[in-house]
Amino acid sequence: MYRFKQNDPSPPQRAWLPGALLLLTAIFFLNFSSRVMMSPLMPRVEHSLGLSHAQAGSMFLFLSLGYFIAIVGSGFVSARLTHRGNIILSSLGMAGALLALSQAGGLTGLGVGLFVVGLGAGLYLPSGLATLTSLVSPDRWGRAVAVHELAPNLGFVLAPLLAMGLLEVMSWRGVIAGLGLASLAGGLGFWRWGKGGGFAGQAPDLKSLRALLGLPGFWIMMLCFSLGLGASLGIYNMLPLYLVSQHGYRPQQADLLVSASRLSGVGMAFLAGWASDRLGPRTAMAWVLGLCGLFTLGLGLAREELLVVMLFMQPMLAVCFFPPGFAALGRLGGPPAARANAVSLTVPLAFLVGGGGVPAMIGFLGERLSFGWGIALAGACLLLGPLLLRRLELVSPHQ
């Protein structure tokens, strides 16, 4: 749905532009942290606004729905505003949405605010990557993208710690307003000092999208990515509420445990990449989803010391899905144009189901049975992944 061009009419490519790269990474960090910050804040938000567990879980569905709509439609916006304009619009839009969200007085205001936050966040990623690759010579794209991708890994770790520290001196409303001001500074900073992105994006090619939707492998991968994102982001979104409400942890303890459990993510992702090359992406994905399903079941059913063990083991496996998953997306059958759009459509759909639907399901069951049963059900669904993958056919990477 968007493509990178080596001859875009943006500033001339250079071998390395560390300042521009770090500014984009900082904006991506604020973008991602603003989305995941609701996870450590949710116990306070739930208590403050008198929400039920089901209502609290459904808030992540509103956030994911906005993100899905924006990332799918991002090409239409960048085609008119350029990628640079899209990045500025994303940051300023999120700033306004977060400042409004900090004043939410009930369920409706919270849901609308999170939906608009998702809209702002979804505009960034396609334009951010296109701008990044226009600033760096192709032989250094891998390193540039690796630096850029530090943002979500740091966001997972630092968001609970930031919430824990800031809530000592301000309310949850102040934390959200602070993120809004930081996003405003990021957007204005990119407008003043940011480089690259001064070229138009491309609207989605509807013909190639239809070809992609006709591939059975696409739907299998979409379901598997939904499982993978549900195991990673979906479970993460509900963990603080689960630990506080069902296991009696203090919010500060829950935030610290959730943050520490994500420290292994960077190293395990590299290990998963090696396993994908060694075993093949389909086999690697099957092992990851199967083992992660067992640990997710354990996370939902375990108690006391075993619960802490599962809390650290589950995300170690969850993060391992994505290297072989993205490798497999590049090897779906069908026309090359359809395969080129696989990532652009699979990730938003999976984010909607895994990042929004899974927390909503866990919150619903947390209201009627327990959070543990909701997490255990998510683990049982993960165990279906290896069965789905038996029907997946991948082409040779050289085709």
Using CA atoms in the order 264, 352, 46, 246, what is the torsion angle rounded to 10 degrees?
A: -50
Tell me how far apart the alpha carbons of residues 334 and 177 are, in angstroms, rounded to a whole number. 46
* CA-based nearest residue to 190, from 94, 275, 117: 94
Q: In the prediction, which pLDDT does 15 show?
A: 47
Q: What token pair was written down for 218? A: 């696409």
Q: Are 158 and 166 in contact (CB under 8 A)?
A: no
Tell me how far apart the alpha carbons of residues 37 and 51 are, in angstroms, rounded to a whole number. 18
Q: Are 118 and 65 in contact (CB under 8 A)?
A: yes
Q: In the prediction, which pLDDT does 71 show?
A: 83
Q: In the prediction, which pLDDT does 3 show?
A: 43
Q: Catalogue all structural domains in the chain, each as residue range(s) with its CATH number.
A: 14-203 (1.20.1250.20), 206-399 (1.20.1250.20)
Using CA atoms in the order 109, 44, 95, 25, what is the torsion angle rounded to 10 degrees?
A: -140
Q: In the prediction, which pLDDT does 188 show?
A: 93
Tell me how far apart the alpha carbons of residues 345 and 126 are, in angstroms, rounded to a whole number. 12
Q: In the prediction, which pLDDT does 4 show?
A: 41
- The whole-model pTM stands at 0.82
Q: Are 128 and 22 in contact (CB under 8 A)?
A: no
Biggest CA-to-CA distance, the chain? 59
Q: How many C-beta atoms surround the C-beta of residue 80 within 10 A?
A: 11
Q: In the prediction, which pLDDT does 2 show?
A: 41
What's phi and psi for 395, nearest 5 deg? Answer: -90, 165
Q: What is the pLDDT of residues 100-120, one digit of tens each?
A: 999 988 888 999 999 999 999
* CA-based nearest residue to 182, from 27, 57, 58, 74: 27
Tell me how far apart the alpha carbons of residues 226 and 339 are, in angstroms, rounded to a whole number. 18
**Burial (0-12, 13-18, 19+ Cβ within 10 Å), 317:** buried
Q: In the prediction, which pLDDT does 397 show?
A: 54
- Residues of the chain short of pLDDT 70, as ranges, are 1-17, 138-143, 145-146, 201, 203-206, 208, 266, 269, 330, 333-344, 395-399
Q: Are 89 and 123 in contact (CB under 8 A)?
A: yes
Q: Report residue 315 CA to chain centroid gap.
A: 14
